[in-house]
A and B are shown apart, each in its own frame.
Chain A
Amino acid sequence: MSLLSIQNLTKTFGAGQMAVRAIDGVSFDVREGECLAIVGESGSGKTTLANMIMGILSQTSGLITFDGKPLGARRSPGQRRAIQLVQQNPLSSLNPKRSIGASVRLGLDTYNIGPKSARWNSVERALEAVGLPTEMRKRAPSALSGGQRQRVSIARALACSPRLLVLDEPTSALDVLVQARVLRLLNNLRTDLGLTYVFITHDLAVVRNIADRVAVFQSGKLVEIDDTSQIFTDPQQPYTRSLIGTVPVVDAEELTLRDKLAGQT
């Protein structure tokens, strides 16, 4: 059963001769409960796509439906609440003048979730869910490490009890040990809360281990979409193979696999 369905979606920036098709006639479904990875180089349209799913950008043509209903230019609070975004850079996506707690609470107030008296309690539960101490709600983002800030971004998204999380490079700004923890956390939350993820990244090694399916984008077009295991054993498109060929690897087994996949032209 598909939760999010994208049909013939196009986004054009500019007009006339200067027009750029950032997303060019793309169709795919995101199934309820799955983690779909969106991969591609910069400029392939990944973030434009995320912004359209979030309703930050409106599409030039095509249709996005969520839970069977089209997402129009004006979304109902319920629709907005159900789809939440986690951005790449946790420092620039948190308001530096708001305490952690106030940032997490914002969604609850905006969508009027639960009685007012219970909202600080919900904030604390959201912080607990991402493994942060509840006292942290009084701190400013600047007092937190990169990994903690990213947990706050996730808590903020979770506080609204969403059904779909759009994760735009959620671990790219983190170093490897912190990344491992955040990835574990995301994976556990998905299982525990029955969430659906659209996971945008250029890190294919992360994709291999967290995604159920992978959609490969090149210059605004969807070039290949398939199960993760299929993409990493028998990619069909030369572009997918060349992307896999550029992944930096650390052990001999990976090197063999990468060269095998990249070399099948």
Chain B
Amino acid sequence: MTKLLEISDLTLSFKELFATTDVLHGISLSIAAGERVALVGESGSGKSVTARIILGLLQETKTAHITGDVVFEGKDISGMVRRDRARLRGTEMSMIFQDPTSSLNPTFTIGRQFIEILRRRDGNRAKADCLLRATEMLDEVSIPNPERVLASYAFQLSGGMNQRVMIAMALANQPKLLLADEPGTALDVSVQAQTLDLMRNMVTDHRTAVLFISHNLGVVREFADRVFVIYRGNIVEDGPTAAIFADPRHAYTRALMSAVPRITGAGLPEVPEVSEAFLAPQISHGDVA
């Protein structure tokens, strides 16, 4: 199977005045075209920095020292010149953030922001044509009355509505890879469930690959084909979603699972103690279930 994104032995450290902080200790993961992959871990485990490296953003930071390969469609992102990396963002890869309302620009209408994004792909695209495409996309994410939404500002719309707008914008340029960093965590459960359903249908229709970053195991189980569990900058376990959930083998993955409260009500979850075993080597379930 050809890989859309292949990360191998990626390390990241931040240089400070007197010390170096190692953040990623050589992680490897790959995403095939159209595949939905989840990266799961607690805060500070290195999930979001991984996304920022894939987007080519951390490479711009002087204090960040990155080694290893990030190959997207056969090209090494770290080796690219800055302009080529910038050109990929919003066209071949795009991102959805945790809080939709604060990631939309409050001073431009939704329509204006759609035009800006569509013109990243084609700088000469006519305004009317852009708005037509925007209407089409809003329609796809089941937004009633798209014309009204295009004329609105983000703060005039609800959180759930903004989340849909974000999804529509992120997919407007037909990216091959979508990075979703905790989408919907800022929304309540029922809106979150609707958003995930919608996102799943959209990426299936458009054959978009997704890297889904989350600490919510329930959401991951419902969304992803394959799961990578990350702990303190190391991948500790990976495999098809069904295999990971049916048979978590790494001590850390088991601890994560046991900390989730269950609706079947076995009482409050045990609090797993941090143990040496969390640092045990990666366990791989292979690619197929």
Contacts and interface: CB of A to CB of B under 8 A. Distances in A.
A41 B265 contact: no
Contacts of A247: 189, 218, 263
A62 interface: no
Contacts of A135: none
A208 B265 contact: yes
Interface in B208-266: 215-219, 221-222, 245-246, 255-257, 259-266
A199 interface: no
B255 A177 contact: yes
A232 B42 contact: no
Interface string A235-265: 0000000111011111111100110000000
A73 interface: no
Interface stretch (A79-87, A91-99, A149-157, A178-186): A178-186
A254 B271 contact: no
Interface string A12-51: 0000000000000000000000000000011000000000
Contacts of A183: 261, 268-269
A232 B264 CA distance: 8
Contacts of A203: 189, 261
Contact of B263 (A42, A177, A242, A254): A254
A250 B217 contact: yes
A61 to B, nearest CB: 27
Interface residues of A, number: 39
A202 B188 contact: yes
Interface residues of B, number: 36
A176 B221 contact: no
Interface in A192-234: 202-206, 208-210, 228-229, 232
Contacts of A7: none
B259 A176 contact: yes
A183 B267 CA distance: 11
B222 A248 contact: yes
B259 A180 contact: yes
B272 interface: yes
B260 A250 contact: yes
B57 interface: no
Interface of B: 42-43, 159, 187-193, 215-219, 221-222, 245-246, 255-257, 259-272
Top 7 nearest A-B pairs (CB, nearest first) are: A248-B218, A180-B259, A246-B193, A175-B215, A205-B261, A42-B188, A202-B188
Given A187-B268, A208-B262, A242-B190, 5 more contacts: A42-B187, A180-B272, A205-B263, A209-B265, A249-B218
Interface of A: 41-42, 145-146, 175-181, 183-184, 187, 202-206, 208-210, 228-229, 232, 242-244, 246-254, 257-258
